[in-house]
Structure 1
Amino acid sequence: MTISIDTNQRPVMPAPFYQLLAQELINTNPKEANAITLYFRDPDYSPEQGGFHPVEVRLEKQLNQWRLVYVTDFAFHGHDFPDLIKDIDICFNSKQVYSSIGGWIKHDEGAELIELFSDNFTSYHHMDVYQVQIALG
């Protein structure tokens, strides 16, 4: 089944990101679903060892297309008792980008961060560092 993803949304993700999503969703049959959440996890990621940050991607059905709702990159922060928190959050509904260092910024100001994140994420995905789970809602 082909899943049509709206690539005209703001902020704009680079084309390889959409190709990656399409590749992951190729065997998914979301006919009855209104939402899809993809979980990308490096099973070895920990505060002690480091590794590749977990990433969550949410899509929701709107008419005949799937629209991105958010892309969130999580990371451990803190020393004695590290917490897994949002490190980068790209929110398509509010058209804003969040980074744990700079807070919320408008999507046009966050274009470089989006491109850097997307390039790194797609590279890591091609290296097969993630285990991927898909939840239909």
Structure 2
Amino acid sequence: LEQLTRLTFGFRNPDYQPQSGGVHPVEIQLIRGLDGWLFDYVTDFSYQGLGQNTELCKELDFNFLDNEHYLQGWGPFPMADAQELFNMWQNSFLAYAQLGFFTVSVNSD
């Protein structure tokens, strides 16, 4: 870990499908700061579109270091709203993780 500058964690639910839904995939990236690891972003993905046009898209994006936050269908939103939404999202994410819904991968730079 000492020589790495970036860690990206992928949380995937193998049962998540466009037709049936399920627990969304999530990506969390940490970058090395002067005093340790910092959260860069947390992104929640969902399938969008119909039939053959279905694709995995960002549904919810918290970009902490740039203070930019996005919710599909709403666009960018202010920090106060982002904090409240992040707290709700985080509780759900942790519950799904504790129930074993995710397979986890880690990539590094």
TM-score bracket for the superposition, by shorter chain length: over 0.9
Q: Is 1:56 aligned with 2:27? A: yes
Q: Quote how far apart the aligned CAs of 1:105 are.
A: 1.0
**Partner of residue 96, structure 1:** 68
SS in 1 for 2:92: helix
Q: Is 1:66 aligned with 2:66? A: no
SS in 2 for 1:123: helix
Q: Distance in 2 between matches of 1:121 and 1:35?
A: 22
SS in 2 for 1:108: helix
Q: Is 1:32 aligned with 2:14? A: no
**Partner of residue 47, structure 1:** 18
Q: Distance in 2 between matches of 1:107 and 1:94?
A: 11
CA RMSD, aligned part only? 1.0
Gaps of 5+ in 1: 1-29
Q: Quote how far apart the aligned CAs of 1:109 are.
A: 2.2
Aligned pairs for 1:113-124 within 5 A: 113-124=85-96
The structure with the greater share of residues assigned to strand is 2
Report the TM-score, using the length of structure 2 for normalisation.
Answer: 0.93
Query: How many residues in Structure 1 have an aligned counterpart in Structure 2?
Result: 108
- More moved, 39-48 vs 93-102: 93-102
CA deviation string 1:49-83 (max 9, x = no partner): 21110000000001131011100000001123211
Report the TM-score, using the length of structure 1 for normalisation.
Answer: 0.75
Gaps of 5+ in 2: none
Which amino acid counterpart does residue 37 of structure 2 have in structure 1? W
Which amino acid counterpart does residue 38 of structure 1 have in structure 2? F
CA deviation string 1:25-47 (max 9, x = no partner): xxxxx121010000000011110
Moved >3 Å (runs of 4+): none
Q: Is 1:82 aligned with 2:22? A: no
Q: Is 1:110 aligned with 2:82? A: yes
Matched residues, percent identical?
31
